[in-house]
Structure 1
Amino acid sequence: MRLVYFGTGTFALPALRALAPHIVLVVTQPDRPTGRGMKMQPAPAKLVAQELGLPVQSPEKTRAPEFVARLRELDADSLVVASYGQILSTAVLESARRGGINLHGSILPEYRGAAPIQCCILEGRTETGITLMQMDRGMDTGDMIEIVRTPIGPDETYGELQDRLAIIAADLAVGWMPKIVAGDYPRVPQDSDRATIAPKIEKSEAEIIFSKPAYQEYNRFRAFTPAPGPFIRTTQGFLRLHTVRLAEGKAEPGTILAVSPEPVVAFGEGALRLVEVQPEGKRRMSGRDWANGARLRVGDRL
């Protein structure tokens, strides 16, 4: 097999490693400024490709004629796409004999788009999966080849679920790519009437709001951990939340219900226990250490 692999984030890494012997080119997003210093950093998939000794390209625009010409020169059997970050043009998809195969992090046609895993957790779903699909010009609209389903744990975060789904995706790719290259695979059209969209996540969506039900904001915490990072606003600034748990209690939203063994904060319905936090501009610490440093008492409002 001759495969061109399009991937950028950590979700793409297990399949990249598994298919490496057959990959003739890895395509990732260009280096981007990240972190506090906003230094240019390569995509995780680029680093792994270099580690594996695979050729890498990171074009700003995949539809550029010179890049499409390069793909055609490779004479690939198929493109494999996982967490790449751009919709591929018809010219790109047609550069390989079997077109493009996508590893999508949801049970299609639900959660088409950039953030299927996060949106699924945010909405409190208890099941998700990986859809192996034939790509077309639309956004995750192509025919389905196979779906593998998996439950979502009640405390499972985006990062944890993404890691599990990435392994499922790699297994699917390894099992199906020889059949796909041979042209021996099913194609089941999606029911577009059941389609839902999972748009790109904005950092502002990670704010935890006291006036809302605790179970709803716990889903928000899970959906945005570890990235972009859930936070609350307090009278002392932003507080990043690293570990929280559902708790019982009733008071005005934002009221401290307990400070030991960890601080418990009231929400519109129920409460959350702050197990591990990070005050603005400070190190990560236990919720208890933060509460002690902030001199919080039962009845205080955040």
Structure 2
Amino acid sequence: MRLVFAGTPEVSVTALEAIVASGHDLVAVVTRPDAPAGRGRKLVASPVAEYAEKLGVEVLKPVKPSDPDFLARLREIAPDCCPVVAYGGLLPQAALDIPPHGWINLHFSVLPAWRGAAPVQHSIIAGDDVTGASTFRIVKALDAGPVYGVLTEPIGPNDTAGDLLGRLASSGAKLLVDTLDGIEAGILEAREQPAEGVSIAPKLTVEDAEIDLSAPAQRVDRLVRGCNPSPGAWTTFRGERLKVLATALTDEELPPGAIRSTKAAVTVGTGSKAIQLVTVQPQGKKPMAAADWARGVRITDDDRLGAE
């Protein structure tokens, strides 16, 4: 099949590589426009754009997928199908109607659970034991189209969103290629999603990532893992923001927000048992071991986390 791939971040590149290695004909790539990055705020191409440019494949970067020039070029290219992984743009019906086999999205959840921009993060934060990936045909409603294929993936007790997304990107890439193969062969039929079990996973904001130390330890630990690497769970210490990148559960007892520091470990009270801080990132600094941070700031008996 003639394919136009749509994707933007690094996680999309894994699927794009699998498509390039398949028997399908990649004729163009659609990605988000170059965006400012780094201290200099220079415009930088997306990971998908960089990879496609190295291949010599045409790259389309519409500001909006509804742009008439973009739609006209897509009609000229005349793809049979458009696989999508984390593109990040809202596709209008005019674009959805162009490829005969539609736009096939690889979504990192077992639909209809966790429709939206951050399914992996929300599945960890919610305490799910299992997540997965689904391929489905895009329709106007959010992640509500009929499903072609599904895989499942257990969530380990120490998995971060980054860990889980890395595994799903790899297994999901194979699922996407298998789906495209099945569509081309005419042997794969999409099935409508069940009406029950729908949950929504909106993009996580910095405000969503604030740690509530009056919550139980497991909930705090899940928030930390679900927000790693982005946006990064955080609390406050002496009036400044402190990112918490890794924690561990303990059997210790401490009041919520209270800090106990030894040479080897730093523990903080929650609404249940205390949690150990493993890796933190003070404002304006690089990530570091929590014990090193605690020695540097010289924790006192009056210090608390989360206190204004």
Question: What interval of TM-score do these two structures reach, taking the shorter chain for normalisation?
Answer: over 0.9
Partner of 2:114: 111
Query: Percent of counterpart pairs with the same letter?
Result: 38
Contact 1:259 1:296 in 2 (8 A): no
Spell out, residue by residue over 1:231-263, the C-alpha distance to the aligned partner (whole angstroms, 9 max, x if none).
111115111223221222222211113323121
Partner of 1:204: 207
Offset at residue 51 of structure 1 (A): 2.5
Deviates more, 1:189-198 or 1:67-76: 189-198
Alignment of 1:3-82 (within 5 A): 3-20=3-20, 22-82=25-85
Q: In the alignment, is residue 139 of structure 1 matched against residue 148 of structure 2? A: no
Spell out, residue by residue over 1:125-168, the C-alpha distance to the aligned partner (whole angstroms, 9 max, x if none).
01001111122121111111111111011110001101111111
Q: In the alignment, is residue 279 of structure 1 matched against residue 282 of structure 2? A: yes
RMSD value, Cα: 1.6
Alignment of 1:171-190 (within 5 A): 171-190=174-193
Matched pairs, number:
302
Alignment of 1:84-163 (within 5 A): 84-163=87-166
* In 2: Cα distance, 1:291 partner to 1:49 partner: 45
Offset at residue 38 of structure 1 (A): 3.5
* In 1: Cα distance, 2:116 partner to 2:124 partner: 15
Task: Choose from 242, 247, 250 the match for 2:245.
Answer: 242
Contact 1:249 1:257 in 2 (8 A): no
Offset at residue 299 of structure 1 (A): 6.5
Contact 1:7 1:28 in 2 (8 A): yes
- Unaligned 5+ segments in structure 2 are none
Offset at residue 214 of structure 1 (A): 1.4
Task: Give the residue type in structure 2 aligned to 1:117.
Answer: V
Task: Give the residue type in structure 2 aligned to 1:51.
Answer: K
Q: In the alignment, is residue 215 of structure 1 matched against residue 210 of structure 2? A: no
Deviates more, 1:110-119 or 1:234-243: 234-243
Task: Give the residue type in structure 1 aligned to 2:212.
Answer: I
Task: Give the residue type in structure 1 aligned to 2:71.
Answer: V
Task: Give the residue type in structure 2 aligned to 1:15.
Answer: A
TM-score by length of 1: 0.95
* In 2: Cα distance, 1:38 partner to 1:275 partner: 32
Partner of 2:231: 228
Q: In the alignment, is residue 291 of structure 1 matched against residue 294 of structure 2? A: yes
Offset at residue 183 of structure 1 (A): 3.1
Secondary structure of the residue aligned to 2:208 is: helix
